[in-house]
Amino acid sequence: MLLQVLGTAAGGGIPQWNCACPGCSGARAHPERRRRHASLAVGTDDGRWYVVNATPDIGDQIEAHPELRPEPGTRRTPIAGVVLTDAELDHTLGRARLREADGVEILATAPVRRALTDRLRLDDVLGSYTTLTWRDLPCHGAVPLHGGDADRAGHGVRISAVPVSGKRPRYAADAPEDDGWVVALRLYEPATGRSALYAPAVAVWSDALHRAAAEADCVIVDGTFWDDEEPRRAGFSSRTATGMGHLPVDGPGGTAGILAGLSARCYYTHLNNTNPLVDPTAAQHKRLARLGVEVAYDEMVIEL
């Protein structure tokens, strides 16, 4: 299984267009610190790719990786579809950038699909340009990542969702409660026995999430905020990190200690521009290194 890290930033990217915090200013002064919105591309054994979360940067993210580009002289793209972990705008608006495709396959949980079709009405808008094919992303049991792989026993990648939060996006705040609003993804390759867990937004470290992390060979998890008070200290929110639906990296209830106890290769993604980890020289990196945990970077390749 091959994983291409397409982006590692939280909503707004780094730098964020209307922000001059130290993280954004540092990225403007040092272009190598720039981060696109958090996303991942998963390669199957026949050269097809699925993009996890369609961010506003999706066009540039595809162009940055030769494996994801179309063949010369044709419009035969290796992008087979999109998998959504939630219905947040920074993870879904990139679908509009895929309107030139003949068709787009989308895997999502039921509440995420309803939010995008009933609230944002993206199906109505994109239906004039391309064909959208929806597939259910199951929270119980796994399915082939590519629908055509169902009859290829022992081959391809299988995917399942692990519910991590019932947090609804603001535009659907009055929608019914459901555990499937925010999920982590478990990716499993039967041919090799290797698996990965991708969880860009984690509000609670549940038993189910811990079991999935303990079984994985690679864990890529929410690193939005370094500590719980960061949003309030930075002055852009009256809520704590956990109040915003993101477990912090450090401090009581932080995930760094949990990841240190896993046997998997562990990485943080979905970094907010206020997180000191966006500065590669920050002392916090050394603290994570002592725990055997790293910060993922854009265009990183992980082979399992």
* CATH number of the domain encompassing residue 66: 3.60.15.10
Strand 143-144 and strand 79-83: the pairing is unpaired
Instruction: Provide the pLDDT for residue 154.
Output: 43
Instruction: Provide the pLDDT for residue 132.
Output: 93
Return the number of other C-beta atoms located less than 10 Å from residue 127's C-beta.
Answer: 12
Distance of CA 80 to the CA centre of its chain: 17
Residue carrying structure tokens 């905020």: 225
Closest CA to 63 of 120, 6, 17: 6
Instruction: Provide the pLDDT for residue 74.
Output: 76
Instruction: Provide the pLDDT for residue 148.
Output: 60
Residue carrying structure tokens 């060979």: 217
In this predicted model, what pLDDT tens digit does every residue of 52-94 receive, in sequence order?
999 999 999 999 999 999 988 778 899 999 999 999 999 999 9
Residue 15 tokens read as 């730098």
pTM of the model: 0.96
Instruction: Provide the pLDDT for residue 209.
Output: 97
In angstroms, rounded to a whole number, what is the distance separating the alpha carbons of residues 60 and 74?
A: 19
In angstroms, rounded to a whole number, what is the distance separating the alpha carbons of residues 95 and 4?
A: 19
In angstroms, rounded to a whole number, what is the distance separating the alpha carbons of residues 111 and 113?
A: 5
Residue carrying structure tokens 């500065």: 279
How many Cα atoms are found within 13 Å in the side-chain-facing hemisphere of 123? 13
Domain count, the chain: 1
Q: Is 14 helix (H, G, I), strand (E, B) or coil?
A: strand
| Domain region containing 244 | 2-303
Positions of the chain with pLDDT lower than 50, given as ranges: 150-154
Contact yes or no for 5/301 (Cβ under 8 A): yes
Burial of 50 (0-12, 13-18, 19+ CB in 10 A): buried
DSSP state of 149: G
Q: How far is CA 3 from CA 14, 40, 50, 114, in A?
A: 22, 7, 10, 28
In this predicted model, what pLDDT tens digit does every residue of 157-175 receive, in sequence order?
999 999 999 999 999 999 9
In angstroms, rounded to a whole number, what is the distance separating the alpha carbons of residues 35 and 51?
A: 17
